[in-house]
Structure 1
Amino acid sequence: MSFFQNFWEFLWWMFIFYAFFAFLWALFMVIGDLFRDHELSGWWKVVWILFLVFVPLLSVLTYMVARGKGMAQRSMEAARKSRAETDEYIRQAASASPTEEIAKAKSLMDAGTITPEEFNRIKSKVVV
């Protein structure tokens, strides 16, 4: 009987642990969405924060019901913007300009590292 009591107690504590972290995750998502929303005035943000401080569970649930659709849209827009910025940075960092490529190839040819034929081949690849 002791094993089953410990087993159910263990399951109960696992559930409590999971519920606590799920609540914290939702709370931080709501707080993040409040600061991400540029349409909501500062006073409404203060009201939501006060409710989150004094009545946290009810406030999180109310916020998700009342503003959940907008919350998802703002989250998707932030992800889209972040991805576009990352892609642009990768494109910018990964590719040098054609002028830089030709200048590098010219310096390699002048140093004797590559032949003039290799220089012309690199130059034709970069120009196209």
Structure 2
Amino acid sequence: MDDYPLLNLFWTMLWFFLWVMWFFLLFKIITDIFRDHSLHGWGKAGWLILVLLVPFIGVFVYVVARGRSMHERDAQQVKENEAAFRSYVRQAAGSGGGGSADELTKLSALKDKGDISQEEFDRAKARILA
């Protein structure tokens, strides 16, 4: 440990952290290039070549040129994911306990009107709950 002072350890950790953040930014930009529906084939290919062949300049130019729209696409993706999740929850809740509860309510209303007898109500209730 005497050969590697604390300050050198700090600098090594800082450079490692920056290296990891660089790759995170690079992958984020590549993902954004492919997710953008307004950018077509040659545009995507051009940005991808720029980002991969001249990484530092390409990434910085991409962030400056398309940073704002990158945020808008992220926000749109979050909204779409949330809407899909809410739709799934509504569908799952509707087909699960909510559906049998509605059927039991209708069955109870029929019994209260006198349209079905108590025995028919009990059989139908057992069938719904089974």
Instruction: Tell whether the structures are fold-level matches, with TM greater than 0.5.
Output: yes
- TM-score where L is the length of structure 1: 0.74
One-letter amino acid matched to 1:110: R
Change in CA separation of 1:70 and 1:108 when aligned onto 2, cut-off 3 Å: farther
Q: 2: distance between equivalents of 1:61 and 1:73? A: 18
For the pair 1:109 / 2:108, whether they are aligned, the reply is: no
Q: What is the Cα deviation at residue 112 of structure 1? A: 8.0
Match of 2:63 in 1: 64
Give, in angstroms, the shift of residue 109 of structure 1.
3.1
Q: Distance in 1 between matches of 2:125 and 2:99?
A: 20
- Flag as ranges the 4+ runs of structure 1 deviating above 6 A: 105-108
Residue 9 (structure 1) shift: 1.1
Secondary structure of the corresponding residue to residue 90 of structure 1: helix
What residue ranges of structure 1 are gaps of 5+ in the alignment? 114-128
Number of aligned residue pairs: give it.
111
Which is bigger in relative contact order (C-alpha 8 A, separation at least 6)? 1
CA deviations 1:77-118 (Å, max 9, x no partner) are 011001000011011102338664326x979932886xxxxx
Cα root mean square deviation, aligned: 2.9
* Alignment-mate amino acid for residue 19 of structure 2: F
- Supply the AA of the counterpart residue of 2:87: E
